[in-house]
Structures are given as structure tokens and as C-alpha cells.
Amino acid sequence: MRSLFKRYLVTGILVLVPGVVSLMVLVGLVRWVARNLQFGILPDQVAPGFALLPDLAIRLLNRALQFADFGLSLLIVLAVILVVGAVAHNYLGRRLIKWGEAWITRVPLVGMVYKALRQLVEAVFSRESKFDRVVLLQYPRPGIWSLGFVSRDTSEFFNEKTGQKMVSVFLPTTPNPTSGYLILVPKSDCQELDMSIEEAFNLIISGGIIDPGDARERKKDGLSPGD
């Protein structure tokens, strides 16, 4: 009975915590958008001529005006995004965007922020992973193994400087894999793993609790994750 209680408790936590936290983030994002995405196109209160209406009706009308203003503002933003996307797909639009980017990147500090945001957006909306493969390497000292992602083979500049074939490896932190360290290591020092990028991220985010090897063994034995 005690083991069953513990099993149900752990399973409930694993199911509820990610969902509740994700919902809280979503609600917070929606509230932030609702606060900032109101352009004041419509009045936020009904006209004085409606003062004879019951107080409840006035409050409902005011709330309806706020929702209508938010919806109209959202439609305008979406329309602007679609227009910019359509313009960016033709030759003239691409030329204008490149000219604008070239101008922005020349501005001190602003150019750095723009480049970082551009890379972040491209990484988020890209359908393909920016990482090539998952590797094991001894870091920060021999005898300690770390999990890393090969982002690319380095250029000949680094290969000539070191006299070895080098690779760029991103070492993520736990439980937030979006931060970490970039190191350049000899390709021969990396042991490639038969592990997908998603499996490696699950392992890192869980702090080693979710082991892809366990899931593969269960799948091989025909067992479900909860068995």
C-alpha cells in the first residue's frame, strides 16, 4: 500500500508540475500581451450618455470595449507581421531588409542586440536543430565526463593554429540547457553517442533522472514507462 501511494504520488507530480508551470507561463504571457497590446483605438469607457444604465451594465460594456480594443490591436499587429513577411519574400523586399540590417548592425551596442535576437528567433523557429550530434568528452579535467552538443566543425583557422581537427562543442548547464559554455576541442577527444538531441536535452533538464537508456530497455522489453 505504501509503495502504491508513493508511486501514485510521484506520477501525479510528474504529470501535474510540468502542466501547471506551463499553464502559469502561458497565463502570464497572455496577461503581458493583454496589458501591452492595447493601442487605445476604442475608448476604454462608455460615453457619459450611458450613465443611466445600471452599474453592472456599464462595467460589462467597459470590459467589452477593452476586449474589443485588444482584439483589434492584435489583428493590426498580425496584419503588419503578414505584410512584412510577404514583402520579405520578394526581391525588392529582401534588398530593403538587407539594407536595414546593414544599417542597424553598424550602430554600437544596438547592432549586437539585434544580431543576438535575430539568431535567437531563427533558432526558435527553425525546423532543424542547430546541433549536429551528441558527444561525450572529458571536461573540465580528465576523468570527469561531460555531455555536449557538436554545433559545427571549426574552420581551418583553428585547425591550423592547433595542428588538429577541431570541433565546436556546446556544454549546456542543468536544468537550464539554454545557458552553458562553448569550447573548442580536438575531434578525436569526442566520443559520439547514439542519442538524439531530444533525448540528450531530456537527460540534461531532468538532472540525469530521465535516462534514454532506461526508456530503450523498457521499449525493448515491451514495458510502458510507468511499469
What's the CATH number where 194 sits? Answer: 2.30.30
Position 188 in a domain = yes
Average pLDDT over residues 88-105: 81
Residue type, 199: E
Helix (H, G, I), strand (E, B) or coil at 126: coil
d(CA 17, CA 25): 12
Average pLDDT over residues 100-111: 79
Position 52 in a domain = yes
Cell of 68: 474589443
Does residue 122 have a pLDDT over 80? no
Beta carbons within 8 Å of 28's beta carbon, 6+ residues apart: none
For the chain, the C-alpha Rg in angstroms (whole number) is 26
Q: What is the pLDDT of residue 186?
A: 93
Residue type, 109: L
Q: Among residues 82, 102, 125, which one ends one of the domains?
A: 125
Alpha helices by DSSP H, listed for 37-54, are none
Residues 202 and 137 reside in one and the same domain:
yes
Q: What is the pLDDT of residue 144?
A: 94
Position 167 in a domain = yes
Residues 47 and 24 reside in one and the same domain:
yes
C-beta of residue 151 within 8 angstroms of C-beta of residue 166: no
Is the previous residue joined to 108 through a cis bond, with omega within 30 degrees of 0?
no
C-beta of residue 85 within 8 angstroms of C-beta of residue 77: no
Does residue 71 have a pLDDT over 90? no
Residues 147 and 184 reside in one and the same domain:
yes
- Find where cell 534514454 sits: 212
Q: What is the pLDDT of residue 91?
A: 79
Residues 120 and 163 reside in one and the same domain:
no
State pTM to two decimals: 0.46
pLDDT over 70 percentage in the chain: 66
Position 32 in a domain = yes
Number of structural domains in the chain: 3
Q: What is the pLDDT of residue 214?
A: 64
Distances in whole angstroms, Cα of residue 6 to Cα of each of 72, 80, 179: 50, 53, 34
Residues 95 and 156 reside in one and the same domain:
no
Residues 137 and 203 reside in one and the same domain:
yes
Domain that holds residue 114: 90-125
